[in-house]
Structure formats: C-alpha cells, structure tokens
Amino acid sequence: MASRYDRAITVFSPDGHLFQVEYAQEAVKKGSTAVGIRGTNIVVLGVEKKSVAKLQDERTVRKICALDDHVCMAFAGLTADARVVINRARVECQSHKLTVEDPVTVEYITRFIATLKQKYTQSNGRRPFGISALIVGFDDDGVPRLYQTDPSGTYHAWKANAIGRSAKTVREFLEKNYTEDAIASDNEAIKLAIKALLEVVQSGGKNIELAIIRRNQPLKMFSAKEVELYVTEIEKEKEEAEKKKSKKSV
C-alpha cells in the first residue's frame, strides 16, 4: 500500500533499474498463458482461453491474431495495448508489401514491434506497453520462425517459449520435453503445445485455443472439437504409459 511511486516513468533508479519497465513485465504475468512451438514444418501457438462472461461474445476475446497471411502472434498482458500494437503491425505488414513488393519476414515484423515497444520506454509522458508477444510464421525461404518480445523492447528467437501467467512452469516443461522426437511430425508438435498448456490450464481442453501455420499454407485456427480430439489422444497415451509403468514395476 505504501509503495514509493517516486520513480518517474522513464528515469533510471540509482541501482540501474527501469522500474516502470519491470512493472510492465508484471502486467504481462496477469494475462493467461500462451505457448509457441517451432516444429520442423509447422509452427504452433496455443493459448489458455480466458473465462468469458455469460453475455459476452466469445469471438471478440481473441489472444491469437494474424498479422499477415504468413505471420501470426499471440500476446499476454493488457488487452488494449495489444490491440494498438497489433493494428500498427498489420499496417506495417501491408505497407512493406506495397513498398518493396515482398511480404515481411517474421524477423522484420518482430523487430518493428520491438522497436515500437522500446520507443515507449524512452518517451516522456508515455508508459511502456504492458504486453509480451509470441510471433510465429514462415519466411519465403521456408524456414519456420518463433520470436518473443517483451515490454522492454527486446526480442529473441526461440525454439519454444511461453508467456503470461505460469509461464515459468510451462517453460520448464518445454525444456524437459522439447526434443527432436517431440517435434518430428506436425502432430507431435501440436500435441507438445497442448501438453504444455495442460500443465497449467485448470479445466482441460475446453479452455485451450490453438493455431498453426504450415509451410506455404495460411493460418489455421482449430475448432474446440479438434482440440478435444488431440486432448483425448494425449490422455489415452498417458494412460497407456502409466499401464506400462505399473506392469514393469509388477
């Protein structure tokens, strides 16, 4: 309650912290979990669906948004900030296409978003954007990409990552389970994303939303039924693994 809000927005503290940027990263943790996985021929984005109020239209609460035909992103944090960033990124994608007659590379649009975020950590009167984003897609060269940005404006490429609430738990799960076998096929990569989310999502498959991009194909959002099918398959595999374990111990 008696916290000292005596740090001006974009001024360093004596020990070198930018407190507003660090607090913005706390805002990211208030959003529900999002996970991104880079497979061999596929990129997967999975998010924990926020519980929607009874009278609210579910279709207007989306965490996964397409930025262009070949790039999409998932975010965690302040909804309104995300809307602004996504709009700017979408305009930039089209502007780039019209100017140089080539679609943006995933790295280009990630750098654009990260630069935008960084500007807001160094401007007077503004506050940092309170969102982290996972940006996935395929470049013209056919290589799958996954990038993550955070409120400070840094961006890095990842093989798999998670953002939002319980991101640490999901990341630890991915560190243990992201193997060459796990991403060998498209289905395996999708299952890995769902398994990672099931570690932290409270009521199972019906609270998970999934999107994939395959090489040279547009973004595909999974329906609830399709997600359920994968969840059932995962549960079956789990049961069989447990049966084998108990047989071995006997």
Partner 1 sequence: MAATFFGEVVKAPCRAGTEDEEEEEEEEGRREMPEDREVRQQLARKREVRLLRRQTKTSLEVSLLEKYPCSKFIIAIGNNAVAFLSSFVMNSGVWEEVGCAKLWNEWCRTADTTHLSSTEAFCGFYHLKSNPSVFLCQCSCYVAEDQQYQWLEKVFGSCPRKNMQITILTCRHVTDYKTLESTGSLPSPFLKALKTQNFKDPACCPLLEQPNIVHDLPAAVLSYCQVWKIPAILYLCYTDVMKLDLITVEAFKPILSTRSLKSLVKNIPQSTEILKKLMTTNEIQSNIYT
Residues in contact with partner 1 by CB under 8 A are 1-3, 6, 8-11, 15, 17, 19, 22-23, 25-27, 29-32, 50-51, 53, 61, 63, 75-80, 82, 124, 165-166
* Least distance to partner 1, CB of residue 127, Å: 12
- How many degrees, rounded to 5, is the angle at CA 49 between CA 65 and CA 171? 85
Cβ pair 34, 70 in contact under 8 A: no
Q: Compute the least distance from the CB of residue 46 to partner 1, in Å.
A: 15
The residue among 125 and 142 lying less far from partner 1, judged by its C-beta, is: 125
Q: Which is nearer to partner 1, 75 or 158 (CB)?
A: 75
CB of 203 to partner 1, least distance (A): 10
- Please say which residue, 200 or 227, places its beta carbon nearer to partner 1: 200
For residues 229 and 88, give the distance between their C-alpha atoms in angstroms, rounded to a whole number. 36
Amino acid symbol at 111: R
Cα-based distances in Å from 172 to 109, 130, 176, 179, 196: 28, 24, 6, 13, 9
Question: Do 129 and 117 meet the contact criterion of CB atoms below 8 Å apart?
Answer: yes
Is the CB of 61 or the CB of 182 nearer to partner 1?
A: 61
Q: With beta carbons less than 8 A apart as the criterion, state whether 155 and 73 touch.
A: no
Taking the complex as a whole, how short is the minimal distance between the CB of residue 31 and partner 1, in angstroms? 5
